[in-house]
Structure 1
Amino acid sequence: MPPSTRVFVAQLAGLPVFGPGGESIGKVRDIVVALRLDRKPPRVLGLVVELLTRRPIFVPMLRVGSLESHAVALSSGSVSMRRFEQRPLELRLIGQLLGVPVQLTTTASAAVVVDAAMERTRSRDWVVSRVAVREKTRRIVRRAPIQVVGWQDLRGLGPAELTGQAIRGSQQVLAQMDGLRAADAAVILRELDAALRYEVADAMDDDRLADIIQELSEDDQKEILAHLDEARAADILEAMEPDDAADLLSELPAGIQERLLGLMEPEESAPVRRLLQYSSESAGGLMTPEPVVLTPDATIAEALARVRSPDLTPALASMVFVARPPQATPTGRYLGCVHTQRLLREPPFELVAGALDAEMSRLRPDASLADVTRFFASYNLVCAPVVDDEEHLLGAVTVDDVLDHLLPDNWRDDGLDEDEPAPAARGVGNG
């Protein structure tokens, strides 16, 4: 069955939630959205799921694999087990929207909200596109029929009306950041005074804050992490890409570093600990331990499905790596890679083993930044495998991580200075 692209939220209430392996997780209790100040449809952030232990947790939409009429299935990836806490400019659709009085802009008639429809956009986000309302009437025998209208066709759906709170300070900043790319949101966060910056960070959900922290300078990263209590700091590190989390932890005193690693879930801290063994100026320190890895008996169709994942950066989606089991890094014996362009030219039922590029050179984990730079320039790549002496795939280096280390330390704050040497020349010269 193809994934649903429009779902009415009342149908989700009480639905069972299953994990990636089919295990029972709990039940859907609500849907959380981010309200906007410009009256545009709110973006769906995720689900409130009541665990079997009756604890409510928040599950981001990126972790929802499918929404069906009978159940919700989660995709792979970690989910915070912290108790759900609603934040400013957030609204629970079932608990706070249904039953709200509104006014139709077309007729000025009074109505009440009876349901709302979530719809998936081209960017794979979910928004509340439509609202089901019933007009208020004085008729006793028959009720007015239900109408389904656009979010913008109703008055009374502003943040102040729905939450009963004035929108100011951090809430205005969060509204301004809503829908922005993490890099653009990081620019706004960096320009705030310290008190407001901390207030905004406290109000953000973990995944969003992790994405934005990854786009800040090291000094700003350490400043925000130091503001957070250690339990939440560990949650933020879990939500970050392992290589970015390792880069940030490497800048912290050993005692704090070890405490935060100890607070992280073992499966999340393990790849970060491996990366911390390498110099930040080496291929091992630059790599991500989570590239797309397949076994040789996987089909071309499976490989294409993996590179379509919205969680992948364009660089990581540029190729898949093929290795003997296990597929988690460090893998079994590395066999080669298949470029996504090659995948698009092959029949979907063929095996990836038949499309392998087994001749492409590999990076060793101790390769210097200068060596990595030359490697990318020589082979015109945006992603490259890192393999140890025993032919285990350890991870992959992407061109964005290389550029991040070649640019001046303060490039996020000030950009390139006219007197600064060209990044490539400085990086290679120091090699």
Structure 2
Amino acid sequence: MVSGAPRVFVSHIAGVAVFDPNGDQVGRVRDLVVTLRLKERPPRLVGLVVEVLTRRRIFIPMTRVTGVESGQVITTGVVNVRRFEQRPTETLVLGELLDRRVRLVETDEEVTVLDVAITQLPARREWEIDKVFVRRGKGGAAGLRRGEQRKALRWRGGGGRGETLTVDWSAVTGFSLEEHGQGAENLLATFEQLRPADLANMLHHLSAKRRAEVAAALDDDRLADVLEELPEDDRVEILGKLEEDRAADVLEAMDPDDAADLLSELPEEDKERLLALMRPRDAADVRRLMAYEEHTAGGLMTTEPIVLRPDATVADALARVRISDLSPALAAQVYVTRPPEETPTGKYLGTVHFQRLLRDPPFTLVGSIVDNDLQPLGPDTPLPEVTSYLATYNLVSAAVVDDSGSLLGAVTVDDVLDHLLPEDWRETELHGPVGVEQLPEDPDGR
């Protein structure tokens, strides 16, 4: 970008692809790093935090960025793949500046930061923040619905619920102060399209303070999905900072097996208190799972597979499979049992795989096409046997049945993988080249 070119608002480059000069993708922008300066001087943009294909976060100095546009970032192609570590003098734009409450210098009025703009200086490849997009009023973006937040980020005009305006960096004050109770609505709106695993990765790299603020701003279902993807320490930390009623609601929204895993990491007193606040049915499912050894089919299974009576039709089965909240592994097959249809069920009759459902007419009864050739797993089946069972029969999920023949749940391949990988696999990042040349020493000293 040359002098006089339009400025770029950071919400427009959050998550965009980063390319080398040959057009090969290096990764995606997850944040921008600035250093705050004295005497109202605009912050200097020192580099980008880029998530490469291995989900490692690296630092790319702005001296190695040749172009910044709304749709892409171009680099010199030579980067250091060492994991990014924030320095005490550095500030993350998306993680720490958005949603901050600051004051207009002229009127001393409190405003909320919705976005900031960066521009390139005439000399060399130096960048700085020159504009701040704010909303008047203490509520800022917190009082807006999520769709309005997105609109506010994309539209740099006034109107709406509280006037919005773009001002010079020198026209606001308060960025250098630590803020308590900082919101997270605009940060979340910026990354709204992230998958739960990617949002969890972003959350993991925030400070404990910002992690708690972002978690508080997420709705229960979204937070439940993210907690399932976080390392153990982060999950316990976040759950512990929620109000107990909210924590119980989030646990109810989680898959029962994941909720059981999380609760098992808490002190007994906290665990029982949260279980008492949960809906009786959800608490009963979690208690049942916690009764099994962790590395057994009973400890691994989910209690919410697709269960149908034998007189249900193929059309009924396909309608259940289409439910968007189901994981691909759970949607791969339905389990046929005698009533009741909620686990633990009546007598388990067998399984109907998704491919078979596609081959038969919609009016066909699932009881007539059930596959009962395979012996189901028992709840005490150890993890190595569960793994061998899935691999031998090329399955992505398998029924777990008790001695009386009732279906207790289903073990899915993703839960098996979670327990086969090292305990810290969510925190461990892959090492080595990422398709770009690695420098032995970064010019920025990192």
Equivalent in the alignment of 1:428: none
3-state SS in 2 of match to 1:209:
helix
Asked if 1:179 is matched to 2:193, the reply is: yes
Output aligned runs, 1:149-168, within 5 Å: 156=158, 161=163
2 CA distance for matches of 1:339 and 1:231?
Answer: 39
| TM-fit CA distance, 1:161 | 4.4
3-state SS in 2 of match to 1:328:
coil
Rg larger for: 2
Equivalent in the alignment of 2:114: none
Instruction: Look up the equivalent residue of 2:317 and give its one-letter code.
Output: A
Equivalent in the alignment of 1:346: 360
- Indicate the structure whose relative CO is greater, using CA pairs within 8 Å and at least 6 residues apart: 2
3-state SS in 2 of match to 1:412:
coil
Query: Which of these residues, 136, 144, 164, is aligned with residue 91 of structure 1?
Result: 144
Asked if 1:191 is matched to 2:244, the reply is: no
Query: Which of these residues, 395, 413, 418, is aligned with residue 381 of structure 1?
Result: 395
3-state SS in 1 of match to 2:427:
helix
Asked if 1:241 is matched to 2:241, the reply is: no
Equivalent in the alignment of 2:285: 271
| Pair 1:254–1:304, CA change in 2 (3 A) | same
Q: Cα deviations across residues 281-316 of structure 1 (Å, max 9, x unaligned)?
A: 110010000000000000000000100000100000
3-state SS in 1 of match to 2:351:
strand
Output aligned runs, 1:314-325, within 5 Å: 314-325=328-339
Instruction: Look up the equivalent residue of 2:204 and give its one-letter code.
Output: R
Q: Cα deviations across residues 1-43 of structure 1 (Å, max 9, x unaligned)?
A: xxxxxxxxxxxxxxxxxxxxxxxxxxxxxxxxxxx9559xxxx
2 CA distance for matches of 1:390 and 1:163?
Answer: 68
| TM-fit CA distance, 1:92 | 4.5
Asked if 1:214 is matched to 2:228, the reply is: yes
- Normalised to the residue count of structure 1, the TM-score between the two structures is 0.61
Equivalent in the alignment of 1:111: none
3-state SS in 2 of match to 1:361:
coil
List runs of 5+ in structure 2 lacking aligned partners.
1-9, 14-138, 167-171, 176-181, 433-446
| TM-fit CA distance, 1:157 | 7.1
Instruction: Look up the equivalent residue of 1:377 and give its one-letter code.
Output: A
CA contact (8 A) 2:156 2:164 kept: no
CA contact (8 A) 1:87 1:203 kept: no
Equivalent in the alignment of 2:239: 225
CA contact (8 A) 1:89 1:159 kept: no
Q: Cα deviations across residues 133-189 of structure 1 (Å, max 9, x unaligned)?
A: xxxxxxxxxxxxxxxxxx98995478974799x998634431232111100000000
Instruction: Look up the equivalent residue of 1:289 and give its one-letter code.
Output: T
2 CA distance for matches of 1:163 and 1:290?
Answer: 49
Equivalent in the alignment of 2:325: 311
Q: How many residues align?
A: 285
| Pair 1:93–1:281, CA change in 2 (3 A) | closer
Equivalent in the alignment of 1:295: 309
| TM-fit CA distance, 1:90 | 5.9
Moved more, 359-368 or 336-345: 359-368
2 CA distance for matches of 1:263 and 1:153?
Answer: 42
Equivalent in the alignment of 2:299: 285
3-state SS in 1 of match to 2:426:
helix
CA contact (8 A) 1:382 1:398 kept: yes
| TM-fit CA distance, 1:190 | 0.2
Equivalent in the alignment of 2:124: none
1 CA distance for matches of 2:236 and 2:12?
Answer: 33
1 CA distance for matches of 2:292 and 2:244?
Answer: 25
What CA RMSD, in Å, does the superposition of the two structures yield over aligned residues? 3.2
Q: Cα deviations across residues 103-159 of structure 1 (Å, max 9, x unaligned)?
A: xxxxxxxxxxxxxxxxxxxxxxxx99xxxxxxxxxxxxxxxxxxxxxx989954789
Output aligned runs, 1:55-94, within 5 Å: 88-89=141-142, 91-92=144-145
2 CA distance for matches of 1:202 and 1:154?
Answer: 27
List runs of 5+ in structure 1 lacking aligned partners.
1-35, 40-85, 98-126, 129-150, 419-431
2 CA distance for matches of 1:177 and 1:398?
Answer: 29
| TM-fit CA distance, 1:319 | 0.1
- Normalised to the residue count of structure 2, the TM-score between the two structures is 0.59
CA contact (8 A) 1:408 1:416 kept: no
| Pair 1:293–1:162, CA change in 2 (3 A) | farther
Output aligned runs, 1:5-84, within 5 Å: 38=12
Query: Which of these residues, 368, 377, 380, is aligned with residue 363 of structure 1?
Result: 377
Equivalent in the alignment of 2:348: 334
1 CA distance for matches of 2:156 and 2:354?
Answer: 45
| TM-fit CA distance, 1:205 | 1.3
Structure 1 runs, 4 residues or longer, greater than 4 Å off: 36-39, 86-90, 151-164, 166-169
| Pair 1:388–1:176, CA change in 2 (3 A) | same
2 CA distance for matches of 1:278 and 1:337?
Answer: 24
Asked if 1:398 is matched to 2:406, the reply is: no
| Pair 1:307–1:159, CA change in 2 (3 A) | farther
2 CA distance for matches of 1:373 and 1:93?
Answer: 42
2 CA distance for matches of 1:240 and 1:293?
Answer: 19
CA contact (8 A) 2:383 2:416 kept: yes
